[in-house]
């Protein structure tokens, strides 16, 4: 959306802080031996207490308040009582919600228990640092394709691929708005530019092997076409004429 009033900015700040604090709390609450359903219900309760509604449920009737993906799952993992988290698992939590007519989105990957394989740790750190670099370059007038090129180039330098069929997107008055194509790679046909005073969700999908995310038999869970693992990190930001404002900074994914 394009922010044109103080009320709109306040609305986006409120929902962005909400999803950020829920993501942070879920990361801190996550422990080995816990089911992903238990973790999801913890997050769902927080959203309810804040007066917010789960965006995946509201928009797509998703079977969970949040998306929780583990190990080889790329995104859109369904919370389950049968999925018990183990020390060293690679987990991704994506939290998006609506509050007062405004929507925000954020997510992050991390290792259950705080320490895992070097492969997981390096992947998580790469995803975080690449997102930070990409967001720092976003301002009004910058080509969306150039940010995709930056993400793709940075990933390749570190020995990683990117997922090509998942993307960041505009957000604000709905979960997904224009632009729908904030890709992790260079698309020479995309001539769009970031607009000053707009709100967008920018996310990385950094992979050890895969380039495409395929939908599983449950109709939701995505896995990579070549196997391996994927780390995702995401912030909702306000595009300005200079440094962007990180509206979901409270999630602490860069801490």
For the chain, which residues make up each domain, given as ranges? 6-251
- Those residues with Cβ within 8 angstroms of residue 22's Cβ, 6 or more apart along the chain or in another chain: 43, 46, 47, 50, 66, 95, 97
The 8-class DSSP code of residue 225 comes to: T
Residue ranges in the chain whose pLDDT is less than 50: none
Q: Which CATH class is domain 6-251?
A: alpha beta
Widest CA span in the chain:
48
In this prediction, residue 126 carries a pLDDT of: 98
Instruction: Supply the pLDDT for residue 29.
Output: 98
CA gap 152, 141 in Å, rounded: 20
DSSP 212: -
Which residues, including other chains, have CB under 8 Å from residue 165's CB and lie 6 or more apart?
A: 212, 213
Identify the pLDDT of residue 37.
98
Write down the pTM of the prediction: 0.97
Which segments are annotated as binding site? 76, 94, 105, 169, 176, 203, 234
Beta-carbon contacts of residue 98 (< 8 Å; ≥ 6 apart): 15, 52, 53, 55, 58, 175
Token digits of residue 134: 């990409």
Query: What's the pLDDT score for residue 193?
Result: 98
Going by the annotation, the residues of the binding site for a divalent metal cation are 94, 105, 169, 203, 234
Neighbours of 200 (CB within 10 A): 28
Residue 114: the pLDDT is 82
* C-alpha atoms less than 13 angstroms from C-alpha of 138 in its C-beta half-sphere: 34
Binding residues for substrate: 76, 176
Q: Identify the CA nearest to 64 among candidates 94, 104, 28.
A: 94
The token duo for 183 is 């890709």
């Amino acid at each position: 959306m394009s922010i044109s009033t103080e009320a709109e900015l306040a609305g986006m700040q409120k929902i962005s802080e909400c999803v950020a604090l829920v993501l942070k709390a879920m990361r801190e609450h996550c422990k080995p031996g816990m089911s992903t359903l238990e973790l999801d219900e913890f997050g769902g309760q927080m959203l309810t207490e804040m007066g917010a509604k789960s965006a995946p449920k509201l928009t797509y009737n998703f079977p969970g308040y949040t998306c929780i993906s583990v190990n080889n799952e790329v995104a859109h993992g369904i919370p389950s009582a049968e999925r018990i988290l183990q020390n060293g698992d690679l987990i991704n939590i994506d939290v998006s919600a609506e509050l007062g007519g405004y929507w925000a989105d954020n997510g992050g990957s991390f290792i259950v228990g705080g320490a895992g394989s070097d492969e997981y740790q390096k992947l998580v750190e790469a995803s975080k640092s690449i997102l930070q670099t990409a967001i720092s370059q976003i301002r009004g007038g910058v080509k969306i394709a150039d940010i995709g090129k930056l993400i793709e180039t940075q990933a390749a330098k570190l020995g990683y691929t990117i997922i090509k069929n998942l993307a960041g997107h505009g957000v604000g008055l709905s979960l997904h708005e224009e632009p729908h194509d904030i890709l992790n790679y260079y698309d020479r046909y995309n001539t769009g530019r970031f607009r000053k005073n707009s709100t967008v969700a920018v996310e990385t999908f950094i992979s050890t092997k895969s380039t495409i995310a395929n939908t599983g038999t449950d109709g939701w869970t995505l896995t990579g076409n070549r196997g391996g693992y994927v780390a995702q990190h995401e912030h909702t930001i306000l595009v300005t004429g200079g440094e962007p404002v990180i509206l979901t900074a409270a999630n602490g994914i860069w801490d």
